Amino acid sequence: MTVVAEWVAAHLSFLPPQAIVAVVSMLPLIELRGGIPVARLLMLPMSEAILFSVIGNIIPIPFILLFITKIFDWLRPTKLFGGIVRKLEKRALGKSEGIQKAEFWGLTLFVGIPLPGTGGWTGALAASLLKIDIKKASLAILLGIAIAATIMTFISYGVFHM
């Protein structure tokens, strides 16, 4: 993930550092888990790292919550995208056992613990596929993003930084 984040940062060098952090944080799988380390790499102050990575991570969430099931329904029957859609659905639902059991807090922790395959994108996809109330899902995802930002900030800027 760090290699991808560094590659994106290098290839977006024409943008201001804050925009690079926001763009990296918008990317699926990377999200703010890559955005905050990129901010550190670009020597942004911690406050800007948090602000722009959280903003970037939040931007795609409403679109996923509102439209992903409709998009998947439209793409599923196609030969080109059907397999990809089924794979994404299987992956999101396969990781959603904890979300189903403790809906709000399960989704919050799923998004908040910065492990591979977790985060706002996957959390929003799982919430949408599980038909969790959009207000509840939005709040849980925002809280999870705040937790992930705190953890990644400590790792990148804080006591765990080497």
The answer to whether residues 65 and 143 belong to one domain is yes
Chain segment 111-159, per-residue pLDDT in tens: 999 888 889 998 999 999 889 999 999 999 999 999 999 999 999 998 6
For 19, 32, 118, 154, the CA distances from 22, given in Å and listed in that order, are 5, 8, 18, 19
Residue with more model confidence, 92 or 35: 35
C-beta of residue 33 within 8 angstroms of C-beta of residue 7: no
Chain segment 35-50, per-residue pLDDT in tens: 999 999 889 999 999 9
The answer to whether residues 12 and 78 belong to one domain is no
Residue 124 inside a domain? The answer is yes
C-beta of residue 85 within 8 angstroms of C-beta of residue 97: no
C-beta of residue 46 within 8 angstroms of C-beta of residue 115: no
The answer to whether residues 65 and 140 belong to one domain is yes
C-beta of residue 85 within 8 angstroms of C-beta of residue 112: no
Residue with more model confidence, 95 or 122: 122
The answer to whether residues 66 and 142 belong to one domain is yes
Tally of domains within the chain: 2
The answer to whether residues 139 and 71 belong to one domain is yes
- Residue among 65, 39, 47 at smallest CA distance from 139: 65
The answer to whether residues 98 and 120 belong to one domain is yes
Residue 162 inside a domain? The answer is no
Q: Which domain holds residue 20?
A: 2-58+151-157
Tokens 């979300």 correspond to: 99
